[in-house]
Structure 1
Amino acid sequence: MLPTPSLRDALYGFGICIAALLVAAIFFWLLADLAWQGVGRLDWTFLTTPPRNAGRDGGLAPILVSTSLIILVAMSVAAPLGVATAIFLSEFTPAGGRLARWMSLSLDVLAGTPSIVFGLFGGAFFCVFLGLGFSILSGGLTLACMALPILIRTVESGLRSSPIEWRLGAAALDLSRATLLWHVLLPAAAPSLAAGLSLGIGRAVAETAALIFTSGYVDRMPSSLFDSGRALSVHIYDLTMNVSGGDANAYASALVLIAFLIAANSLAFWFSNRIFGRRMARA
């Protein structure tokens, strides 16, 4: 005997709640384990001093600066290119056209490409061919290439979900396409832009393999974008795999990485709402 519609709805709702609670429980379990192992090492000195004794002692000051610069370079390149490409795909190409299909396929393939492949590409192109060497700039540009597919697809979906009536109304009012994009479509797609930035930042902050081949291992304070710099994820990997007795600092560094990720995601949502949210409210 099949369950009644009300019972099916209740079972579906129960299953969805269980799945959401399971995901949240896994996250808090990981967070609790990191806090249990590494919170004792966290203090102001840990955040403001350089690492010593191969990372067993000292802190993360140059690591945090290098990570921030790498993310800044990556998002400064990926955000304008990603938004422009998403606008081109959603507004200037037919949804079922050949160009749109090939670009969509390319983006899907790039989104699923292993990070080690991006690292090899970045090392060969940015470090060797362009002569940038192991540098923060090489690492940031490589991460921009990795973040672009996710950012483009997310913003494109947000733009395509805008009602067709908005476009028809803009055409009836004789508004230019640029005015429609800037004052109507992009503000409406602000949540998608924030989500794309968050996903891109998340992938960039947590990346290790690509940065080993591009930004390098150096743990000193960088003086420019052309200096080598060690990212937080690379530092955690090095402490865990190559430095005996570095587990305590590795756990503390992982906690800082999670806090850094939360702060970067919050900044991405604030930025999108600041730029486009007010414009949509005024409209």
Structure 2
Amino acid sequence: MSKNTIATWLIWSSALLVTGVFLCLLVDIISAGLAGISWSYLIEPPQDTGRAGGIGPIIVSTGLILLVAIATAAPLGLATAVLLTEFTAQNSAFAGFVERSLDVLAGIPSIVFGLFGNAFFCIYLGLGFSILSGGLTLACMVLPILIRTATEGLRSVPNDYRLAAATLGMTRSAALVHLLLPAATPALIAGLMLGIGRAGAETAALIFTSGYVDRMPDSLLDSGRALSIHIYDLSMNVAGGDANANSAALVLIIILFLINSVSISLANHWMHRRIISL
């Protein structure tokens, strides 16, 4: 058996193993939580500490927290990646320091981010336990992922693109907007999906920043319970809450799947329109 055949089998085996684990988890959650999902469950507020009622306010709070996190982290991450790849020498001390710092941040436990968010956003900035504090804390968590994936995506674009743009007299900003960023779109979308996935499933950081309140938020300065916290609370602190915890977990998976699908579809549609326009 050749080395190529062995490598192919290993790759397929790894892919099938990961897929199998995911399907086992998904089937278990669906079988345990699907019966509890209904329209009233999706729009009504929780009752009896979550044993009854729905998760309407919790879905809204989760969406607002994710919106704050991605709206804050995405432009900062993209700008930092552009700075590191297009306006800074790759072997410079500054670029090396920033990249090592990002690697350290990516490995910090989420509970540490939660303590930082509580000290800085909740107490020092006076935002208190709020959706805004939770979203900004999650933005700090996903920034390393967004920056690193965007950086690698931009660096993977062939230098021929840059040389061709310079030959045609295009400015660096024009080349970035019209050539480099479109070519790096798959990596940018992958980083965005990873960031949304981590932010949507985060629990520890939000306990210290967004709070436990399960009512409908009136503004970003209101406390809001995310779905991940709701699942944790029902599973660990509420007797008889396992059924609704499984239903909430299934809703969270569906939301993340829909966000990923819509983002990929929009990116593909945008790329198709650009190709047609060219």
TM-score by length of 2: 0.97
- Percent identity between matched residues is 59
* Alpha-carbon spacing, 1:137–1:276, altered in 2? closer, same or farther (3 Å): farther
Aligned match for 1:39, one of 28, 34, 37: 34
Structure 1 residue aligned with 2:187:
192
Give the Cα–Cα distance (whole angstroms) in 2 for the partners of residues 126 and 278 of structure 1.
Answer: 41
CA distance in 1, matches of 2:270, 2:66: 20
State the match for 1:81 in structure 2. 76
Q: Out of 251, 271, 281, which is 2:246 matched to?
A: 251
Equivalent of 1:50 in 45, 49, 73? 45
Deviation at 1:10, TM superposition (A): 1.9
Q: How does 1:64-75 map to 2 (within 5 A)?
A: 64-75=59-70
Whether 1:114 aligns to 2:109 is yes
- Unaligned residue ranges in structure 2 (runs of 5+): none
Q: Structure 1's 118 and 276: CA in aligned 2 closer, same or farther, altered over 3 A?
A: farther
Give the SS at the match of 2:211: coil
Structure 1 residues 210-225: aligned runs within 5 Å? 210-225=205-220
For 2:196 and 2:45, locate their aligned partners in 1 and report how far apart those are by CA, in whole Å. 24
Q: Does 1:60 align with 2:55?
A: yes
Residue 277 of structure 1 and its aligned partner are, at CA, apart by 5.2
Q: Following TM superposition, by how much is the alpha carbon of 1:265 offset from its aligned partner in structure 2, in angstroms?
A: 1.5
- Of 152, 156, 163, the residue aligned with 1:157 is 152
Q: Quote the offset at 1:11 in angstroms.
A: 2.1
Structure 1 residues 178 and 280 mapped into 2: Cα distance closer, same or farther (>3 Å)? farther
Per the TM alignment, residue 279 of structure 1 is displaced from its structure 2 partner at its CA by: 2.8
CA contact (8 A) 1:85 1:152 kept: yes
SS of the residue aligned with 1:234? helix
Q: Name the residue aligned to 1:94.
A: 89
- TM norm structure 1: 0.95
Q: Following the alignment from structure 1 to structure 2, what is the Cα–Cα distance between the partners of residues 277 and 160?
A: 23
Find the aligned partners of 1:9 and 1:127 in 2 and give their Cα distance: 55
Unaligned runs of 5+ in 1: none
**Cα distance change on mapping 1:83 and 1:275 into 2, 3 Å:** farther
Q: Following the alignment from structure 1 to structure 2, what is the Cα–Cα distance between the partners of residues 280 and 91? A: 24
The count of residues paired between Structure 1 and Structure 2 equals: 278
